[in-house]
Chains A and B, each alone.
Chain A
């Protein structure tokens, strides 16, 4: 069966420090991969998605970037974190656009 992992579960980082959040999927090949930020009152905001290795679509201009070095690995990064980057980050995968399967999420607090 398919599973999706995200780590770390929680992270506290100072402003200006780098960030790397990792997401991996098991049990499926060539999935679409997604990074979302979930904020209270603003819902689920799509940040990046990828339909294949090295293919990244950015949805909103921001301080973050994404990479897909392997078929089932999706990484969210930042060179210098801002306070506004705090939030709950969700990774998801799909093989058909409508049914997306979500990971457990990472709570990021930038201090």
Chain B
């Protein structure tokens, strides 16, 4: 079965501190992993995907197949990073995504 686990419901950090949002997945094949973000009063939107290996708004995420993880990282958090973050997986059925429960990131000044 395909499953995405985000163990933290809430992550609170100070501005300028490093951030790591954890994501672990369960899938027997080769998955595609993504991070989606929902800022306050905005729509849920794609932040980044592992196949692009890109940095968006200072965030990066590396797929670790050995640990079945896709953690989202940023070296220095900013207040505008405060949002709900969802990790998602695309597996056997390419028409759909499986989302994790989400993590609220709160960046304090």
Contacts and interface: CB of A to CB of B under 8 A. Distances in A.
Interface residues of B, number: 21
B46 to A, nearest CB: 5
B44 A42 contact: no
Contacts of B53: none
A34 interface: yes
Interface string B29-70: 000101000000001111001000000000000000000000
Nearest to B102: A43
Nearest to B94: A97
A98 B43 contact: no
Contacts of A51: 95
Contacts of A44: 44, 86, 99, 102
**Majority secondary structure, A binding face:** strand
30 contacts: A32-B95, A36-B99, A42-B101, A43-B6, A43-B102, A44-B44, A44-B99, A45-B99, A46-B97, A46-B98, A49-B95, A51-B95, A57-B95, A92-B44, A97-B94, A97-B95, A97-B96, A97-B97, A98-B32, A98-B46, A98-B88, A98-B90, A98-B97, A99-B46, A99-B49, A100-B97, A102-B45, A103-B43, A104-B43, A105-B43
